[in-house]
């Protein structure tokens, strides 16, 4: 039974695995101080047009988010995030366990591409205005994700506006790029890695969800965040002994346009699915142009569909329908999507 | 230049890597809920003769230690560890960052195999007696490692005595098995995995230092520690999306006697080196029967040696000599050890 | 300029201060292990009809909340609270700093006495249903306050229903009684201390806001929460050296009905003010029957009023009006309220 | 039975209590923003000859230590303290609960006034040298106490040398002044408040152990530590609602030379006791010139003495003797000391 449950059901892209095999018996310095990590970091700095950035390779996303956030906040400082933000909903309180409150911006009623899953400058201003004295936490960092948890993306102008308001209000701006590949390669996108580096204080380029066995490349753009960061990594248990294995994977992913090609493949198949669903007059829970598709389906259809495919239910609506989520990835065969479309067509026609 | 710096300079044992390649495009459930992890856990429960144990696969050792410790202590409770314990010295305060004090037992003057790097029941009693009221932290968990940071191992009788005193005083007993393979396969050892499961509340079987790319198998023997542990894993950022990759690696390591054969190889080469050093009238910093060798060498010899090999300096003595550390692993070629012996013979003879 | 800003603008009730003076040079055991604290604790157990309760005296409310909550939760467990809850809004992230997320129930649109500022069993069920797996925090404790931050109170039946749902779902129920005196003595109240002890796992009887210089009496009803609690107190820096000074104050407050008489005085004056405002056709932001009064006033009136009285603005509405807060206390002279009424009458008439 | 157990067995000095009574019904702004606190802070800045210092009034010592330390460290940073330091031994892991390791300098064998209970520049250098990379915590703050837990004091030259090494190595220097009054007024002292302000980054002037009901005056000398400190106070539950009560007490203590006179009284009586013990050929556990006296007494004498006085046993020696501790305070009547001397003379003569 084929699974559209997520974009991390398979191992690594064959070229990535091949690189791991190629260097397997080579001796490398531990803890990320190896030549492959250095090389991959150089490549990332180049892509970001940011020679001063510090790049660290971390195993997973939750760890990366918690690590970055706890590293730059004082005990009474808080994070601003969308209500749908991964750190707020799906990280089992990892940020709070490191001592910091998340100030969530209600966003569940946002359905258009400009706001769904996203933060606006106005959101940030409202929270900062409301947190005016020492009896309340002090907002200090804005967390956004691109693509968002609803598959939407930030436009260049939107990110620039967030950057602006953060600078004005003295807030760090951190972008969770677990699905950054998918965001940067979707047709609606007008951002580049260089833009992101110019408009945030820190962000990460996700490997786990785009072709790596594991590994995220955390880019610390702002020099103020770079000091002693390796201490922070180790302190949070996030320093892999064989850190060179992440370096090797990113070297492979960044060879040619592989990283982007993988994401383009995922996006193309998601778009094909979306188009088919539009043709079937399907409504959507969120207007995603990336590799997550959120159709609203009758519960009866969901039940039948679950006999042939794995997928997640995003939300049970109260009207006999549910919003579900299909995720495509670099590993998704086009036939699987075609088959899904065929079954959906039949079920929705019926 | 060959490195004896540690046992995690290479990738994975070829059979482990081969398994990763074999299952690479298979779709697996995320977050460790896959069939490979289940299978490897079953195998571990069998080897431990402990059908009730919970087994969780975690990326690295510091993470595993911090996770287990923080999961079972209340805020005012503390860990007892040897002064040389990894959590006390080399984990950048990860345990303290999770809120808990480490009560270190002075052990730097211990040089015989019965105590070097180890804890004794008397150590534990002394600390518990000294921590008698609520103005001091409450000792609640005993942390030991096998093999220890000095390469020594616990004998069955010693572990049983620790188990006894922990039960009597109401303390958890946790064994860090980053190098458990090396401990269990050295000639002096009389412990089995089943013994360890019977005599501790929790322990881990190290993969990273014995043939895996990454991954430790945390075994929660005591049912009281098992409840909701997956929440704890995620809360600490330690739940790998592609957890199945650790399951696959442990499946491979536990096929036949591979895990133990790899450690035996490392031990045999370390023993060969030790024997040669004894023949050269070398003194040792610690009496290790496992894969770490700690000779004391003249600084002049160290300088010369560093031109041909990488290794770590354990401690600079004040008499023109240093204790150094050579580590062998599954990946160490016998020729590298032979070459090291040859060079040492020449230098020490000179 | 008289201040209605809060109920902690003066020192202690004269009888409380007199008790402190009487015992001033008596030698007492430190850290709350003195006879006065023991005596006051006995008295509280009696009033609560709960001989098995543990009673601890803590300096302040934020400290008490953070201490109790962090003492009974595991790292991945969370608190359910109303959006208006003190721990969520006005404690500068103290609970999060101890590692725990607060799951806030949106309540800003609740305006009737049955729900304003309060939690319902339905709220709790909804949150628990939504937090179903280990990728989300685990709800483990319900925090309520009585009177609430909006001055409303829980009826016996409401508290019993919360108790029921908490028992069913395996949640601790903790009641913040910073203003418990005011709640228990208002005419609408049908709860007793014995009811509260029977229907919660822990609660505190606030001293600071009802006649003490400082001090809250934390009552641990559930034996499971009592173990080693003095360690928790010291661990959070909450164990006062001269703990006997809180014991002495509670002894005095619990002599006769003093504690309740002080709250009755505050309530009576608040009711007088409310009645006058009703007579002036004033709308209210929250339907408080206790010692906080929340009228909605034209901004012009607020400005004029601020020339003669101190008070807090609860919320600026967007229609040229603001919700303000007047607080009465044991120390409020009736003349001050009469004067406030007179000025308001004039301003609102004008 | 008279108690020499500690210096916080009584309430407040009568002049302090009188001040609390005098202002009892005055309305004051909450949370330490009142005129009395402002006035007392001004006075302290003057005494310290440090117009730029920020002064905050905190309830107790453990809270003050934990608050200051956690406020200025990043998660991976550690505190250097003497093994006998209060934060290391007697605060139930409060500093570790805030996330930071304490690196303790072994000091138990130090018996002369120059080192007993104290840190030296050499101690600090040794620790910093040993903590050289990111696999170990990063020393960032030096914690000392004056007088120390063994009653010894720092000389001007010693503090200057610590200041020097801290500046050189980039460490904060924090002085715990729980018994600062006693230190500054003992004959051997050559430090002033102005010296301390000039030679540390932060320190506190203890009220609890020198005449106040509760309250310590935390002085943040270094501007880098001052930013947003009120947030930190509230975040740790350390912001007292009626903060003005501490301000009032310090106003009283700093009127004339009261604070110093109280300490002089305690010191004088301790010196009288010490002199008598010297006359009785008594040995001492620690060479204290301040208000703690640590004679070594035969266990039989201790047993008999315990029938007439309360005191603490510092350490049971293995030779039938114990080191005990007698503490004098502003409240100790000379007759109590005379009586103690008489009984000791009889017992030690016998």
Interface list for B 199-228 with A (CB within 8 A): 208-209, 213-214
Residues D51 and D124 in one domain: yes
CA–CA dist D161, D120 (Å, integer): 8
Question: D239: closest CA among D23, D59, D70?
Answer: D59
The two structure tokens encoding residue D191 = 């430090």
DSSP helix/strand/coil, D329: coil
Tokens, residue D328 = 């004098």
One domain, residues A172 and A246: yes
Between the alpha carbon of residue C235 and those of residues B138, B170, C68, the distances in Å are 10, 20, 12
Please give the angle made by the CA atoms of B280, B282 and B285, to the nearest 5 degrees: 155
Say what the pLDDT of residue C109 is. 75
Q: Are residues A55 and A116 both part of a single domain?
A: yes
Nearest alpha carbon to residue C127 among C171, C70, C180: C171
CATH of the domain at D149: 3.40.640.10
State pLDDT tens for residues B100-113: 999 999 876 788 88
DSSP character at residue B148 = -
Residue where a domain terminates, one of C204, C238, C253: C253
What's the Cα-to-Cα distance from A36 to each of A32, A40, A251, A252, B60, rounded to whole Å?
9, 6, 7, 10, 20
Residue B339 to residues B344, C51, D263, Cα–Cα distance (Å): 9, 77, 71
**Residue A88: its H or E element:** helix A86-89
**Burial of residue C157, with CB atoms counted within 10 A of its CB: 0-12 exposed, 13-18 middle, 19 or more buried:** exposed
Contact D30 C17 (CB under 8 A): no
Section C188-198 average pLDDT: 98
DSSP, res C307: T
Q: Judge whether B237 is closer than 8 Å to chain A, CB to CB.
A: yes
| Full DSSP string of B273-327 | HHHHHHHTT-EESS---SSEE-EEEEHHHHHHHTTTEE-EEEEE-SSSEEEEEEE
The rounded distance, in Å, linking the Cα atoms of B231 and B221 is 18
Cα–Cα distances (Å) from A147 to A109, B162, B293, in that order, read: 18, 52, 50
B75 CA: distance to closest CA in chain D (Å) = 6
My answer on whether omega of the bond before A147 falls inside 30° of 0, hence cis, is: yes
Q: Are D112 and D287 in contact (CB under 8 A)?
A: yes
Which chain C residues touch D91 with a CB distance below 8 Å?
234, 237
Give the CA distances from residue C162 to residues A161, C158, C159, in Å, rounded to whole numbers and listed in that order.
Answer: 45, 6, 5
Number of domains into which chain B is organized: 2
User: Do B187 and B75 fall into the same domain?
Assistant: yes
How far is CA C295 from its chain centroid? 20
d(CA B74, nearest CA chain C) in Å: 7
Nearest-angstrom CA–CA distance, A165 and A203: 17
* C67 and C185 in a common domain: yes
Where b means 16+ CB within 10 Å and e means fewer, A171-181 reads bbbbbbbbbbb
**pLDDT (average), residues D305-323:** 95
Taking contacts as CB-CB distances below 8 angstroms, the residues of chain A near B214 are: 59, 214, 240-242, 245
For D155-184, the pLDDT digits (tens) are 999 999 999 999 999 999 999 999 999 999
Q: Same domain, yes or no, for D47 and D148?
A: yes
What's the mean pLDDT when you consider all of chain B? 97
Question: Does the CB of A155 have a partner CB in chain D at under 8 Å?
Answer: no
User: Distance, in angstroms, between C173 CA and closest chain D CA?
Assistant: 21
Please answer yes or no on whether B93 and D102 come within 8 Å at the CB atom.
no
A&B contacts, CB < 8 Å: 146
Closest CA to D191 of D206, D201, D178, D177: D177
Q: What is the pLDDT of residue D318?
A: 86
* Residue B102 with chain D: CB contacts under 8 Å: 101
Instruction: Give D-chain residues touching A137 at CB under 8 angstroms.
Output: 231, 235
Residue D45, both tokens:
């800045």
Write down which residue in C231, C253, C275 finishes a domain.
C253
* Cα–Cα distance, C215 to C16 (Å, whole number): 12
Q: Which subunits have 3 or more CB–CB pairs within 8 Å of chain D?
A: A, B, C
Question: C66 contacts in D (CB within 8 Å)?
Answer: 237
Residue after which a domain boundary falls, among B200, B218, B253: B253
Are D252 and D16 within 8 A, CB to CB?
Answer: yes
**Residue C139 pLDDT greater than 80, yes or no:** yes
Question: Tokens at residue C218, please?
Answer: 């934390």
Beta-bridge mates of residue B274: none
D204-222 residue pLDDT tens = 999 999 999 999 999 999 9
| pLDDT value for C166 | 98
d(CA A88, CA A202): 19
Q: How far apart are CA C252 and CA C246, in angstroms?
A: 10
Q: Tell me the pLDDT of chain A (350 aa) as tens digits.
A: 999 999 999 999 999 999 999 999 999 999 999 999 999 999 999 999 999 999 999 999 999 999 999 999 999 999 999 999 999 999 999 999 999 999 999 876 788 888 999 999 999 999 999 999 999 999 999 999 999 999 999 999 999 999 999 999 999 999 999 999 999 999 999 999 999 999 999 999 999 999 999 999 999 999 999 999 999 999 999 999 999 999 999 999 999 999 999 999 999 999 999 999 999 999 999 999 999 999 999 999 999 999 999 999 999 998 999 999 999 999 999 999 999 999 999 999 86
Contacts of D156 (CB under 8 A, 6+ apart): D190, D191, D195
Residues of chain A contacting D228 with CB distance shorter than 8 Å: 74, 76, 134, 138
- Percent of chain D past pLDDT 70, that is, above it, reads 99
> What distance in Å separates residue D5's CA from the closest CA in chain C?
9
| DSSP labels, D29-50 | -STT-SHHHHHHHHHHHHHTT-
ipTM greater than cut 0.85: yes
Supply the pLDDT for residue C52: 98
- Per-residue pLDDT tens for B266-279? 999 999 999 999 99
Model confidence at D350: pLDDT above 90: no
**Nearest residue, CB atoms, C76 vs list B31, B76, B231:** B231
Please give the average per-residue pLDDT across D11-32, as a whole number. Answer: 98
Residue of chain D nearest B97, judged by CA positions = D99
Tell me what pLDDT residue B349 has.
Answer: 86
Rounded Cα distance, B144 and B85, in Å: 7
Helix (H) / strand (E) element for D265: namely: helix D258-279
Domain span including residue B227: 14-253
* Residue C76 to residue A89, Cβ atoms within 8 A: no
Q: Are residues B220 and B281 in the same domain?
A: no
Which residues make beta-bridge pairs with C296?
Answer: C283, C323
State how far residue D97 is from chain C, nearest Cα, in angstroms: 7
In this structure, which long-range contacts are made by residues D280-285, counting pairs with CB atoms below 8 Å and at least 24 apart in sequence?
Answer: D280/D344, D280/D345, D280/D348, D280/D349, D281/D348, D282/D348, D285/D150, D285/D314, D285/D315, D285/D323
B258 membership: H or E segment, kind and range: helix B258-279
Q: Are residues B238 and B282 in the same domain?
A: no
Q: Are residues D120 and D194 in the same domain?
A: yes
Q: Which two tokens stand for residue B264?
A: 């035996």
Interface of D with B in 94-153 (CB under 8 A): 96-102, 106, 134-138
Residues in chain B within 8 Å Cβ distance of A61: 241
Model confidence band, residue C282 (pLDDT cutoffs 50, 70, 90): very high
Q: How far apart are the C-alpha atoms of A50 and A44, rounded to whole Å?
A: 9
- Residue B20 contacts A where some CB pair is shorter than 8 Å: yes
CATH of the domain at C270: 3.90.1150.10
Q: Are the beta carbons of B183 and A212 closer than 8 angstroms?
A: no
Give the pTM: 0.97
Given phi > 0 = left and psi -120 to 50 = alpha, else beta, which region is D32? left
**For B90, nearest residue in chain A (alpha carbons):** A234
Domain check: are C204 and C275 in the same one?
Answer: no
Same domain, residue pair B161 and B299? no
**Taking the mean position of all CA atoms in its chain, how far away is CA C339?**
27
Verify whether the Cβ–Cβ distance A228 to D134 is below 8 Å: yes
Q: Per DSSP, which regions of chain C are E strands?
A: 2-3, 54-58, 77-82, 102-105, 138-145, 172-176, 202-206, 216-220, 283-284, 292-293, 295-298, 309-310, 312-316, 321-327
Q: Which candidate from B78, B92, B93 shows the least CB-CB separation from D93?
A: B78
Q: Does D315 touch chain B (CB under 8 A)?
A: no
Residues of C in contact with B70 (CB under 8 A): 75
Of D134, D230, D236, the CB nearest to A234: D134
Q: What is the mean pLDDT of residues B171-195?
A: 98
Number of inter-chain CB pairs under 8 A, B vs D: 59
Cα–chain center distance at A106: 20
A to D CB pairs, distance under 8 Å: 57
Asked if A75 lies within 8 A of C97 by C-beta distance, the reply is yes
| A345 reaches B (C-beta below 8 A) | no
CA nearest to C237 within chain D:
D63
Contacts of A24 (CB under 8 A, 6+ apart): B10, B11, B12, B14, B17
Instruction: Identify whether residues A204 and A313 lie together within a single domain.
Output: no
Give A 22-61 residues with CB within 8 A of chain B.
Answer: 23-30, 59-61
Mean pLDDT of D217-235: 98
Residue of C nearest to D236 (CA): C94
* Chain C residues within an 8 Å CB radius of B233: 134
> Hey, of B97, B100, B105, B132, which one would you mutate to test binding to chain D, going by the most D CBs within 10 A of its CB?
B97
Helix (H) or strand (E) holding A249, with range, is helix A244-253
């Amino acid at each position: 039974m084929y699974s559209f449950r997520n974009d991390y059901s398979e191992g690594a892209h064959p070229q990535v695995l091949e690189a791991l095999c190629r260097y397997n018996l080579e001796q490398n310095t531990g803890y990320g101080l190896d030549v492959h990590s250095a090389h991959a970091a150089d490549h990332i700095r180049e892509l970001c047009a940011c020679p001063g950035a510090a790049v660290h390779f971390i195993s997973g996303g939750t760890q990366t988010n918690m690590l970055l956030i706890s590293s730059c906040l004082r005990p009474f400082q808080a994070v601003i995030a969308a209500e749908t933000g991964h750190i707020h909903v799906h990280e089992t309180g990892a940020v709070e366990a490191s001592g910091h409150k998340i100030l969530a911006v209600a966003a569940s009623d946002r359905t258009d591409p400009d706001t769904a899953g996203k933060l606006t400058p106005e959101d940030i201003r409202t929270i900062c205005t409301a947190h005016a004295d020492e009896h309340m936490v002090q907002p200090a960092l804005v967390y956004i994700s691109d693509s968002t948890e609803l598959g939407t993306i930030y436009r260049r102008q939107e990110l620039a506006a967030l950057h602006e308001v953060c600078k004005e209000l003295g807030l760090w701006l951190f972008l969770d790029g677990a699905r950054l590949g998918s965001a940067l390669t979707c047709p609606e996108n007008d951002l580049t890695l260089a833009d992101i580096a110019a408009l945030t204080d820190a962000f990460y380029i996700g490997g786990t969800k785009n072709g790596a066995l594991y590994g995220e490349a955390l880019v610390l753009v702002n020099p103020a965040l770079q000091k002693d960061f390796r201490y922070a990594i180790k302190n949070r248990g996030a320093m892999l002994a064989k850190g060179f294995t992440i370096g090797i994977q990113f070297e492979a992913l960044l060879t040619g346009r592989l990283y982007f090609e993988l994401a383009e493949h995922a996006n193309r198949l998601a778009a094909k699915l979306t188009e088919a669903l539009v043709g079937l007059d399907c409504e959507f829970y969120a207007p995603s142009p990336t590799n997550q598709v959120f159709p609203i389906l009758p519960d009866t259809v969901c039940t039948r569909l679950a006999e042939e495919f794995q997928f997640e239910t995003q939300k049970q609506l109260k009207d006999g329908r549910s919003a579900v989520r299909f995720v495509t990835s670099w590993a998704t065969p086009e036939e699987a999507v075609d088959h899904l479309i065929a079954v959906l067509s039949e079920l929705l026609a019926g």
